[in-house]
Chains A and B, each alone.
Chain A
Amino acid sequence: MIVCVAVVGHQNNPLYIQSFTEADDALKLHHIVHCSLDVVDERVNNPKKSGPMLNETFLGLLYPTDNYKVYGYLTNTKVKFILVTTDLDVRDADVRNFFRKFHTAYVDAVSNPFHVPGKKITSRIFAERVSTIVKSFGLNSAG
């Protein structure tokens, strides 16, 4: 199950962050997202580790914790997407698929002429699309 997704701008400014848990652990999840930003920077500045997947937008598993797995994605425009999930056996293909759909939703949201670049994404439609994508992620990995 996905517990948190975040969009972070190129100056590490939060553009959108949403958790999907009932429990009151938003702060903890935000903290995890925050920590992952350093890992993203590290991955991008030391590309040797990534080897053949040089400069791919999908950054893969950033770091595993006891309860969560954190995945990252960096667009050409230096916007970072972070995904925090509690599933411990996630298929890479599912995560890639998730990020692809998420990216499409993001692009549609920022292409709104009333959206101010670099400001938080407040679109309700975007929020709805994201929660649909998040829900479908659970179904995919189960089936």
Chain B
Amino acid sequence: MVEGTRDNGSIAPLLEHVGPYNEFPEEYQLQSAIEALKSVKVLVVGAGGLGCEILKNLALTGFKNIQVIDMDTIDMSNLNRQFLFRPDDVGKSKAEVATRFILERIGDPTLNIVPYYGKIQDKDMEYYKQFNIVVCGLDSVMARRWLNATLVAIAQKLGQVIPLIDGGTEGFRGQSRVILPGFTSCYECTLDMVPQKVTYPVCTIANTPRVPEHCIEWASVLQWPKHFSAHEKFDGDNPDHVDWLYATALSRAKEFGIPGVTRSLTLGVVKNIIPAIASTNAIIAASCTNEAFKIATDANPFLNNYMMYSGDDSIFTYTYAHTKNVNCPVCGDNFKEVKCQRWWTLEKFIDVLINLQSIQLQNPSLSTTNGVQLYFRAPPELEQLTRENLSIKLIDQINPATEQIIVTDPNLPISLNVKVVFEGPDKEPQDINYLLRQ
């Protein structure tokens, strides 16, 4: 089994003896397990905190064919956990630097790692279908949804089931899960478990700030667009931008006597920073690659299908089989029901859709199942053409008994079917307090 200097000594006992918990001991064969590790193609999505760990773990447990995708470059604040990067690497591609480091350290001519510096959306189904396992260590919900939907589509259209092993961490907590597209619950099935970003009502930010976060949001949401032209978008990695925002938030806080605005808090709020440490990434990545190892070699059963981990109050894990959501727009074949007040315009309805926990979109376009275009973001001509529908009540544009709404979004490779249930008054209720104040 020796190949290169790093032999398989650390995994040989796992492969050579069938354990008593192997569910199909008669079918297990040492030679096919060894062959599998050599031939299985693994895609690692993300070369950050989890990705660095995942690459190391795969390389040290016998996998030989790995590709890694990441669109990010290395930042100074990555160095407290992303152990394949050094200060001199700041600004370079994570996927490329990580690949180079692993290849050099492992020193095995049969180990093949191919980096791709770019977005997962750059690649199509043809690309993804070449893999046997996908291990995903991302911090973006949208990217995970896209990847999940792509793998489910490959299972549905090509009948090819590519296990998706997904990890995520936050502070001392994390989770790992195994998704068998078409068989287990998918990422979209559990979308409502994703914690929602804290938002603050605009009227509080504008009129009655109380806590430092209100002052920071005032600076970033209301003041930045006023002081900078539309094309100068706020960039959290630009220290001048952060300094301006911090100073603006601080002066707002002083004016109202609100303590607690700091530069660190400002950064945390505007960049939505999630605390991260190496040890949690190590735990979750190891859990993910342990599942990959068992799936590839058939040496033991794998996780069914979700493990939650928490280390901030002693240590706690909870493993359970998350059931499929029959209404899942990706792996189920049903529609989602969304309630709509009779008086809502299309614009108001879209606004509600964007913020709905079970839908969460960024730039949705809407049409009906009868082929009527309600609103399209692009191309500009179509946007122009459908824009006037925004101010018309939705109830006047569709027949809920016979049609549903198809929602698409450039960030999702699928469309959602939404069944609208109308309720409430035909006219917008008048706010008594509002009238009295006039």
Chain A bound to chain B: no
Binding site for A on B (CB under 8 A): none
